[in-house]
Structures are given as structure tokens and as C-alpha cells.
Amino acid sequence: MRRLFGSVRARATLAATVVVAVALVAAGAAVLLSLRSNLMGEAGTQAERSARAVASELALGARLDDIAGLDGDHEPVQVVDEDGRLVAVSENLERISGTGTDAVKPRPAAARDDADDDADDADDAADSLEPGEIDKKTTFTNGSATIDGDTADYRFAEVAVETRDRGRLTVYAGAPLAAEHGAVRTALTVMLIGFPLLLGVVAAVTWLVTRRALRPVEGIRREMAAITASEDLARRVPEPDTHDEVARLARTTNETLAALETSVERQRRFVADASHELRSPIASLRTQLEVAAAHPELLDLDGAVEDTVRLQRLAADLLLLARLDAGERPAPDARVNLAELAREEAAGRTGVTVDAEPVEVAGSRGQLGRLLANLLDNGQRHAHSTVAVTVRREGDRAVVGVADDGDGVPESDRERIFERFVRLDAARSRDDGGAGLGLAIARDVAVRHGGTLTVGEAPAGGALFELRLPLTRGWSGA
């Protein structure tokens, strides 16, 4: 049972069935109450019509034995005087309840004393009915009656009439409620039979529709399970030809798989390239140490130190890239003055000039310093004579430009140079050209700081690298 209702389809079917069941019960109750009220009203109207017909004859002075309304065999009628005595009754009435009296045999009127006369006069004055007048007010009650041995429920109407010779009389007339009871029972029977069938249809339709709607989701699940088992990120989940949430889920899943595949492939290339780059200095350093161990007089100490420094820089670059790939971001409350940082990084470098206005950004001073150092290293490596650094403000952005007077970067390669381990000059030695990580690190740092790093053509014909970072909030340049 727990496994069954762990299914979305089962829960949706149960929810739809419960909602429809509640709606049907509420609607059925409303229908039954409305039907009973209407039929009860019709019975009351019929009873009132009969009671007023008898009251009209009494108001006209008709004799009790001559009243037509008392001759019916199927509708009970009682006429009661002011003292509550039954003075007339319909034929064949054997038992009655729900009226002013349960008597079924008329009794002769007794002599009335003065006190009764005074009370009656007071009642007459209160009711203010003239002789021959019928009370406009009708009172309804429910009861039962037995006529010729048949007992049934009735709706009784009570109407008062002021006669000229008998004083105040009250007429009770009933109308059968058999039609009301029969209609309510029939409607209830139909509901008891029809509602379960309707709920079964609702449950079945919901089950089928939900299964059809969730079929693409099951396909996505199976394909994702297969991808997990095979570790083949090149596979994609099926996308239904619809424009609903399931189709958007499939497209988003495929986009996620594509991004994951790209990330994993990038990581694999990174590991392979890092291993390749580390192999050269390690092998060179090992060779020098082995030679020195066998022939100490042949030790190339400068070369060993140079390989060690190169290995140290490469390890630092790889560690920084790993931290950036892990999502490391600078503290948002740290502030860095780019003008001061540019002057610090340019200090001691030959052929580097700085023209900077004070601008402040939020970020890591160490990472931004590494970014500027990498750009300056790249500029000095390719410049003929000079590298110019500028720092300025454009709107809400700080712009740092590093331009050289070298040969520049071909337009087709201006994005590729930011990839890791990329060298445009394949013939250039690794010692001179580095590992190809400087510009990749620079762009990653720029992106982590909410900025951009692009390359274009410098006024002197070389390469112009432009770093754009958002200014700190509230910075006015003062």
C-alpha cells in the first residue's frame, strides 16, 4: 500500500476521486434538500387549499354535515372550536397526529360560562376577525393519519375562520407526503448507485490520463538511470513533442547533461594537460638531480632552480584554477583600489607605463593582483618595446586596459587564447611561453568578480586586453 501511494499517478487519482466524491456528496445533499423543500411546499399548498376551501364554506354559514371538504376519503380534515373540541371530521378517519387534537370523533359543545365568554371576547379582540372572515395566516405542521386502515404521513395546514353562529373555528386539512417521500427515496437510490459508478469512472479516467501524461517522465527516468549506469554523458533523454512542463523538464535535463558533459570533458582535458605540463619540469629536474648524484661537478644549479620555480608556479596556477572551478568567490565587503594595485604590479617591470585614476571595486586583492600580473606578463612577452596600463571609470564600471605594441592577436583566435593550455605559437618553447594558463586564470578571476575580460586591437597595433568590473556601491571617485 505504501509503495502504491508513493506513485504520483496513484496520489493524483486518489486526490481527484476524493475531490469529486466531496463535490458529489455536497451536490447530492443540496439536491435532496431542495427536492424535499419543493415537494413539501407543494404538499403545504395543497393542504392550505383544502383547509381554506372548508373555511370558506364555514364562513358562508354552511352546515357541518353539508361541507364538501369533509366527504373526502383520502385527505384528513378536522374542524375544532375555540375550546379545542372536535366538531367535524372527514369520513373514515381512524387516527391522526400533528394537529391541534388527536380526536377523530366529534363531541357536542358544552355550555360556556361567563369567564369563558370573557376570555373568548379577549381573544376575539386580539385576533380582530369579523364574522365570516378567514384568517390570512396559515400554520403548517407535519403528522400522520390513518384512513380506512392505511397510515401515511401528511402535511397539515391550520386556518382559523370566524363564523356567525359558532364563533371561532379552526380547520386542519392534510395533504399526503407520499410523493415527497417517494421522490426523495428515488433520488437517494439513484445517487447511492450512480455516485460510486461515477467515482469509478473518474478514478479510471484520471489513472489513464495521468499514466499517459507521466509516460514521458518515466522515459526520462529510464534514460537517466541508463546514463548513470553507463556513465555515458553523451546520451540525451527523449523530448516529447509538446509544450508542457514535461517537455520543458526534458529540455532542461538535456541542457544540464550537455553542461555536465562539457564540464567533465573540460576536467579531463585539464587533468591530461596538467599531467603533460608537469611531466616536463619534473623529468628535467629529475635528470639534473640524477646527473648531479653521479657527477656532482656537472650539477646545473641554475637550471634546477629554474625548473623548481617553474614547477612551483605551475602548481600554484593549477591550485588557483581548482579553487575557481570549485566556485570560490571573493568576499563582497573587501575593497580594492585598482589604481594602486596596477602601480604595484607594474613596479620594477621594464617598459611598462601606468596612467590610472582612482577606482574602487569589491573583490580579492590577491586574485585581482594575479590577474593584472598575468596580463602584464603576457604583454611583456609579446610587446616590441612598451606595455601601457590604463585605469578609468566608465559609468558604473571600472575599466583596466593593458595594451602592448606587439603583433596583436588574430581576430579568429581572440576567444581561444582564454582556453587553458592554449599557445598560439606552437614553435615557442615552453620555458618562454609558459604553460598557457595565465589568460585562462585571468578570465576566470574576472568572471568570479562579476566582470568581463576581452581582447582587441591596441592603438599601437598590438593586443589590448580590457578588464571591466563593477564599482563598489557608493563609490564617487573622491
Domain annotation covers residue 477: no
Residue 272 has pLDDT above 80, yes or no: no
In-domain check, residue 39: yes
Lowest-confidence pick of 14-28, 313-327, 407-421? 313-327
> What does the mean pLDDT of the chain come to?
83
**333, pLDDT greater than 70:** no
Quick one: 169 and 310 in the same domain?
Answer: no
4: pLDDT strictly greater than 60: no
Position 154 scores a pLDDT of: 92
- Please report, as a single letter, which amino acid is at residue 199: L
Identify which has the larger pLDDT, 157 or 124: 157
Average of per-residue pLDDT across 433-458: 86
Q: What is the CATH number of the domain that holds 277?
A: 1.10.287.130
Flag whether 8 is in a domain: yes
Q: Tell me the average pLDDT across 57-84.
A: 81
**Within this chain, do residues 198 and 93 fall inside the same structural domain, yes or no?**
yes
| 313 vs 306: CA distance, rounded Å | 11
Say which residue, 432 or 407, is predicted with more confidence.
407
Residue 119 lies in a domain: yes
Q: Are residues 12 and 149 in the same domain?
A: yes
Percent of the chain with pLDDT over 90: 33
Which has more confidence, 127 or 274? 274
Least confident of 106-110, 389-393, 427-431, 446-450: 427-431
For the cut 60, the answer to whether the pLDDT of residue 410 exceeds it is yes
Please give the pLDDT value at position 426: 44
Residues 68 and 146 in one domain: yes
Q: Report the pLDDT value the prediction gives residue 127, as an integer from 0 to 100.
A: 55
CATH number at residue 418: 3.30.565.10
Report, as an integer, the average pLDDT of 39-52.
Answer: 91
Q: What's the pLDDT at 110? A: 53
Across the strands, what pairs with 142?
A: 155
Name which of 378, 377, 382, 389 is nearest 353 in CA terms: 389
- Range with the poorest average pLDDT among 102-111, 145-154, 439-448: 102-111
As a whole number, mean pLDDT of residues 51-67 equals 85
pLDDT value at 354 more than 90: yes
340 is a domain residue:
yes
Choose one of 205, 231, 257: the last residue of a domain.
Answer: 231
Q: How many CA atoms lie within 13 A of 329 on its CB side?
A: 10
398 with 335: CB under 8 angstroms? no
Distance (Å, rounded) from C-alpha 405 to C-alpha 382?
A: 8
Instruction: Single out the residue in 325, 357, 388 at which a domain terminates.
Output: 325
Q: Residue 454: its pLDDT value, please?
A: 94
Whether 225 and 113 map to the same domain: the answer is yes
Residue with the bigger pLDDT between 262 and 74: it is 262
Tell me the average pLDDT across 466-475. Answer: 84
In a domain, 239, yes or no: no
User: Is the domain of 298 the same as that of 379?
Assistant: no
Query: What integer pLDDT is reported at residue 122 of this predicted model?
Result: 43
Q: What is the pLDDT of residue 322?
A: 76
Last residue of a domain, one of 325, 345, 361: 325
pLDDT higher than threshold 90 for residue 465? yes
75 lies in the same domain as 154: yes
pLDDT of residue 338: 93
Residues 181 and 290 in one domain: no
* In the predicted structure, residue 341 carries a pLDDT above the cut 80: yes
To the nearest whole percent, how much of the chain has pLDDT over 70?
88
Q: Domain for residue 153, yes or no?
A: yes
How many independent structural domains does the chain possess? Answer: 3
Residue 29 has pLDDT above 50, yes or no: yes
pLDDT at residue 126, rounded to an integer: 43
320 and 340: one domain? no
Residue 106 and residue 219 in one domain: yes
Least confident of 107-111, 113-117, 130-134, 146-150: 113-117
pLDDT higher than threshold 90 for residue 342:
yes
Per-residue pLDDT, 431:
47
Do 96 and 23 belong to one domain? yes
Q: Which residue has the higher pLDDT, 441 or 292?
A: 441
- Residue numbers of the domain that contains 305: 245-325
Q: Stretch 151-166: mean pLDDT, rounded?
A: 90
**Same domain for 249 and 221?**
no
- Residue at 476 is within a domain: no
